[in-house]
Structure 1
Amino acid sequence: MAEISDSDLGDVLQIDIVSDVVCPWCIVGFKQLEQAIHETGISAAIKWHPFELNPDMPQAGENLRDHIMRKYGSTAEQSQGARDRLSEVGKDLGFEFRFADDMRMVNTFKAHQLLHWAGPEGKEHPLKMALFEAYFQDRKDLNDDEILADIAGDVGLDREEALKVLADQRFSDDVRQEEAFWTQNGIQGVPAVIFDRRHLITGAQGVENYTSILKQLMTSD
């Protein structure tokens, strides 16, 4: 029986994933990887690491479509086409994207601080999943302290402590240092998946490719 954990327990394959919670291909890539893990039957320990797609994003955020068109030079038609493609891919993987014209790209530094705090609490993975769902399905502002605290509470974390973590920014330096570590080691885009701390794969590779990678790792050790 395949197992996905967010902690290192026993003889399992360590999988580190560098990603942002507002990156649609990050959740797509994870869902593909998750399916591949179950198909191969391996046990895997998932560890999430921070990456900000837009570290200079203002606190107020920006309309998502306007942001994508400005950042990538795409047209409104191309932007809609990308949304349609993501929706189809997500549907096949059991993840529903609910895009809307008023969706906003937001600053995610606070969300990464909350994830850093959740790690030792054993809640990093469920919080990461909840943040993906909150943004892409419920279109929530992941830069809002109250919303973030609510999400933390929903996955079993202490809501009041979550608010304190966000207010005092106690993990801001830790998150900045970890972000710098990955960028200094060549990570310029996400998702970036590191298998067994040795093999780096970037981008959402698809279930078949992830399955092939996992099988190769299983036979090479």
Structure 2
Amino acid sequence: MTETPLRIDIISDVMCPWCIIGYRQLKQALDETGTAHELHWHPFELNPEMPAEGQNMREHIIEKYGSSPEQSEQSRAQMTAMGEALGFDFRFAEDMRMHNTFDAHQLLHWAGEQGRKHDLKQALFRAHFTDRRDLSDKAVLADVAGEIGLDRDAALAVLEDQRFAEIVRDHERFWLKQGIQGVPAVVFDSQHLVTGAQGSENYARILAHLSQAPTA
């Protein structure tokens, strides 16, 4: 009898450092438990009202969450260490900026039609956090798509004509209506919601519990 893959829906934004940390933790747990699964990425904008020029990341975090500069620095150090342990290279800098990601989500939808959404998602995380590239720039987004083997000109055309804008808005509204207010948010088997980066051990426990649950 073939094992039915576990459906995993991840609602996230490529501006969110905890989203890549949480994903890497989950992947570690999936690898360690050998869980058969299918992964589905979904859009969420941390900063839908962010202007085109973006905002300095440190200023944004202090303004949005009330963090002190010392707390912000401590958080960056913690995330950098966690990323290193998970094989992801955070390279925070004083001039890093937060940007709106609506175009990035449209490009991800397009990549998904070619079975490459996961690959592009990982490339965008690296482009922002490791290479500090401007993901609000359509040319940069098209470059990243081209770098993973997608058609750069086609990617740029998608961004220029905004053909997937309403579809992405619909997907964002759907998850907001489900009560998703922060990311990462992971839904297992279309019914078990887990929020935040839970850590590999906790994810492994969740996977073990789900594997023992009776199927309908």
Aligned residue for 1:195? 188
Matching residue within 92, 114, 126 for 2:119: 126
Matching residue within 112, 121, 124 for 2:105: 112
Normalised TM-score (structure 1):
0.94
Which AA in structure 2 matches 1:177? D
Normalised TM-score (structure 2):
0.96
Which AA in structure 2 matches 1:213? I
Matching residue within 138, 151, 154 for 1:145: 138
Q: For the residues of structure 2 that align with 1:73 and 1:37, how far apart are their CA atoms?
A: 35
Aligned residue for 2:211? 218
> Any unmatched runs of 5+ in structure 2?
none
Task: For residue 11 of structure 1, report the CA deviation from its aligned partner.
Answer: 2.8
Query: Is 1:184 the counterpart of 2:173 in the alignment?
Result: no
Query: Is 1:32 the counterpart of 2:25 in the alignment?
Result: yes
Task: For residue 156 of structure 1, report the CA deviation from its aligned partner.
Answer: 1.7
Aligned residue for 2:153? 160
Which AA in structure 2 matches 1:40? T
Q: For the residues of structure 2 that align with 1:54 and 1:120, how far apart are their CA atoms?
A: 25
Q: For the residues of structure 1 that align with 2:4 and 2:204, how far apart are their CA atoms?
A: 19
> Any unmatched runs of 5+ in structure 1?
1-9
Matching residue within 88, 93, 97 for 1:100: 93
Which AA in structure 1 matches 2:165? S
Q: For the residues of structure 1 that align with 2:23 and 2:112, how far apart are their CA atoms?
A: 18
Length, aligned pairs only: 212
Runs of 4+ in structure 1 over 6 Å off: none
Contact 1:123 1:155 in 2 (8 A): no
